[in-house]
Amino acid sequence: MSEHAIALYLGESYASLGVFDLKNKKKPTQKHTLLFEKSVFLPQVSFKNLLNQTKAALPELAETGFKKIFIVTRYLDRLKTFRLGGSVVQAVTEGFENCYAATDTKALSLAAATLVISINDSTISEEFLTSELARIRKINPDANKIVLQLAEEKISAKNRELVHHFFTAAEFKVFVCSQPNDLSQVRRSLLNAGSEGTKEEILSEIKEALGETIEISFWVDGKFKTEIENCEIFSSASDFLASCVQDQKANYGAYLDHETFRMISTDKKSSWQSPWGPMPMDHKDIAELTPHPFSEIKLDHLSMLSIAKKPTQYEPGPVLAGRGMKPLVIDAFQSDLSENSYMQSLFPNMNTELQRKKIDNHFSVLEKGQVSNLLSTTKNEMKTLILSGLTTEIKQHSKNNPVVLLGPLQHLVPIDAKSSVTRLENFYWPTEIMKKAIL
């Protein structure tokens, strides 16, 4: 009897999905071992649409349905530029309001000062909590999560239970900080609360499309788990890639796709220097390689061809996606990627004559717009510089130790016959996820 499951990679801007038989224990080696596969660029095709397409493509599974879904993701990286406390209430021992930011004032905020409830052990009552809830509802009617940061030595067990019960009855999702005097643990609890909405967005769309009974597992801490903390999801993709690198008997990997070039180390770190400040979390070390594939190629203030330091938003995407109006790093490699099945699945029109002409015209304008012929750079020269820089960075990060190239765009980086760089051939997210799911 077959047990059909889904292997899903959910990036910031794209999703790759594959359907497989969980009972088939034969070691998968190629993409064709998947019963169905599809990748979509999320600004153009929604995640919900992808799930519905999967159901429509396999009508024979309508009765039995999908039993499990195994997820590796970096979707929550979307949150890394935002403060996350807009809908999070914080119940804090009086005198410790907003103390979580005391050691890192430059970090992004995790709590709104107006949503803080100061708890005094001698004056707290249900009437006080009722009035505070009414105040909060006026400020943010949608507030539905609360972090309890109540020190045992300051607030009695009875009163801590009162606060917990009150907000549970008010249909709040309650997050209890187990170590309220540890600022890094407070940040962790606040991040769990602040990212709850994004995680629930993923779960609700899966359950709506595939049924409430489907078992949902995320890759965290070296395996697939159904019970996780939200903050652990932030390291899901990098930890999975580190596991793939370890499988190749190496300590370093360089991963390339259209939304990130990054270096992965198998070394474990116990403290995460997050955008919201340091917090305790085991994760594998990563480093972003430059340039970012979504960085714009443009003329700088000296009218010389240059690459923007910061990437553009994923919407509307690169020129090769069809709607982008500014040439990006990834656009410069259109001809090199024309036969890449991963890119073709995300951007089905990338090889049309219209898209090729658009890209050529963009770079032609940039090349001609340069003031000095002596210092001018062509698109092909820019590509050579980018690849040379990536190769150098990979060597520097790995300290010339063996490196595994992986990811759907790994073949952009050439391998020197004398180097200690190898490839994880045929890397395809659903297949790699399936391999670990059936172990």
Which domains does the chain carry?
A: 4-79+200-234+428-437 (3.30.420.40), 85-194 (3.40.1360), 249-423 (no CATH)
At residue 340 the predicted structure's pLDDT band, cuts being 50, 70 and 90, is very high
- pLDDT reported for residue 28: 56
Residues 208 and 146: their CA atoms lie apart, in Å, by 26
- pLDDT reported for residue 26: 67
Angle between helices 196-210 and 47-57 (to 10 degrees): 20
At residue 106 the predicted structure's pLDDT band, cuts being 50, 70 and 90, is confident
At residue 102 the predicted structure's pLDDT band, cuts being 50, 70 and 90, is low
Residues 127 and 147: their CA atoms lie apart, in Å, by 20
Residues 319 and 120: their CA atoms lie apart, in Å, by 58
- The Cα diameter of the chain in Å comes to 77
Amino acid identity, residue 260? T
- pLDDT reported for residue 183: 87
- For residue 252, pLDDT over 60 is answered with yes
Contact predicate 85/112, CB 8 Å: yes
Residues 35 and 23: their CA atoms lie apart, in Å, by 13
pLDDT tens digit string along 138-178? 999 999 999 999 999 999 999 999 999 999 999 999 999 99
Between residues 279 and 99, which one has the greater pLDDT?
Answer: 279
- pLDDT reported for residue 298: 96
- For residue 118, pLDDT over 80 is answered with yes
- For residue 33, pLDDT over 90 is answered with no
How big is the CA angle at 226 (ends 247 and 258), to the nearest 5 degrees?
A: 55
- Tell me what the mean pLDDT of segment 45-50 comes to: 96
pLDDT tens digit string along 411-434? 999 887 677 889 999 999 999 999
Residue 261 tokens read as 């070039």
- For residue 390, pLDDT over 90 is answered with yes
Burial label for 27, CB within 10 Å (0-12, 13-18, 19+), is: exposed
Q: Rounded to whole angstroms, what are the CA distances from 282 to 9, 70, 195?
A: 21, 21, 18
Buried b (16+ CB within 10 A) or exposed e, 265-277: bbeeeeebebbbb
The DSSP letter of residue 98 is: T
- Tell me what the mean pLDDT of segment 348-373 comes to: 93
Q: Which residues are within 8 A (CB) of 391 and not within 5 positions of it... i.e. 6 or more apart?
A: 413, 414, 416
Residues 294 and 316: their CA atoms lie apart, in Å, by 11
The number of CA neighbours under 13 Å toward the Cβ of 240 is 34
Burial label for 224, CB within 10 Å (0-12, 13-18, 19+), is: buried
- pLDDT reported for residue 420: 86
Q: For the chain, what is the mean pLDDT?
A: 92
Residues 356 and 178: their CA atoms lie apart, in Å, by 56
